[in-house]
Amino acid sequence: MDMTMAENTQLAYESVNCNKCYQIYYSVDCESSHDIWFSKNLVGCSNCFSCINLRGQQYCIFNEKYSREDYLKKLQKFNLGSYAGTQGIKKEAAGFWLKFPNKYMHGIQNLDSTGDYIYNSKYVKKSFVIAGGEYCKYCFLLIGKNNKECYDFTQFGENTEKVYESLVSGNGISNVIGGIVTLEGRNIRYSVDCRDSNRFGCVGIRDKKHYIFNKEYTKEEYENLVPKIVEHMNSMPYIDKKGCQYVYGDFFPTEISPYSYNETTAQEFFPLTKQEAGEQGYSWKEPKERNYKITIESENLPDNIKDIPDDMVSAVIGCEHGGKCKEQCTIAFKIIEPELQFYKSQNLPLPHLCPNCRHYQRVLNRNPNKFWHRQCMCDKKHVHHEGQCEVEFETSYAPERPEIVYCEKCYQQEVY
């Protein structure tokens, strides 16, 4: 519950980028691990508390090894059911993490690729969250594997090829431009929610071929009309209210989007103020006034989960942010019965933030979709260098961030 970028993970809470984990809490970038608390970048570990950069370890607290008996004794001293206690441990763990190096990008088994959260890929450039790509650029959230020669493609992929300026599409598509929710087809242009092949400007057409603007044509008619439409798009481009021109090959104009900027995940990855959004030509939706009758403010909740009564599910809890943040705060929230049972069974304190604010706070542990050119910060003596390492790279760690950032070779020397 309350997870981001989780896969094959069970009984987990408030963690980011975890794969094949079990009973993991308040942790980041962990894989194949279980019984983990407040930890970062663990692989093949178990029973670790506030640790970082460990491989195949167990019974560790702040990277210090203990016997099983001593570990369990020390763990009992931490008040994990307390909200104040967990907040203090989170802060202490985050400070401890800063003492250790981070690899300049998240990813393994890549060849000549740049970006972040890239896995099993080659020749992927300036992309994020790619599960298996080849010769792709400016792509994002291609969590389906085997995507080739794609450009400006967002979510989700899976056996795709030659996809351009498209989103939420995949499952074997190829040669697609401007596709939205396009599945299992090829030779598709500017179509939404379509399947099968040879479409131009269609919506909701399934299992049929050679359609233009939802009208069926013969193969010969289709092949004759499409070049004429393309020529018309280039000779008479669409011009929006700000004077931007859209020709064949460009994505749909933003002004015809059915959603406002702050209603979409764009606000999560590239947050803007209302003024900034307007200056860039995006619409903005004002939040509805919510007249919740808050029955208890989050600051007045019992601190420990053991003191939370079962009738808390009927309470309307005031979010700690009170709508004063930029995280689409709902101002108030409720705890449902299965949620309360989960907190009690895992000895976790009740949250003090609404679900939206919790999400925005959680994704602060995910690197942004931006790049900076930096130099490796390692100044230790390694086989490939003495003194300051001279390797440079593109990274999503901004220069002003406090983390120590290493190149691949220096990171391998320190962690493995």
C-alpha 390: how far from chain center: 31
Q: For the chain, first and last CA: distance in Å?
A: 31
Residue 117 near residue 126 (C-beta atoms within 8 A) = no
The whole-number pLDDT of residue 68 equals: 97
404: nearest Cα among 118, 120, 41: 41
Helix (H, G, I), strand (E, B) or coil at 21: coil
Stretches in the chain below the pLDDT threshold 50: none
The whole-number pLDDT of residue 302 equals: 97
The whole-number pLDDT of residue 40 equals: 98
pTM above 0.85, yes or no: yes
Structure tokens at 259: 């959603």
The whole-number pLDDT of residue 94 equals: 97
Q: Write out the H or E segment, with its range, that includes residue 409.
A: helix 408-415
The whole-number pLDDT of residue 315 equals: 97
The whole-number pLDDT of residue 4 equals: 95
Residue 410 near residue 376 (C-beta atoms within 8 A) = yes
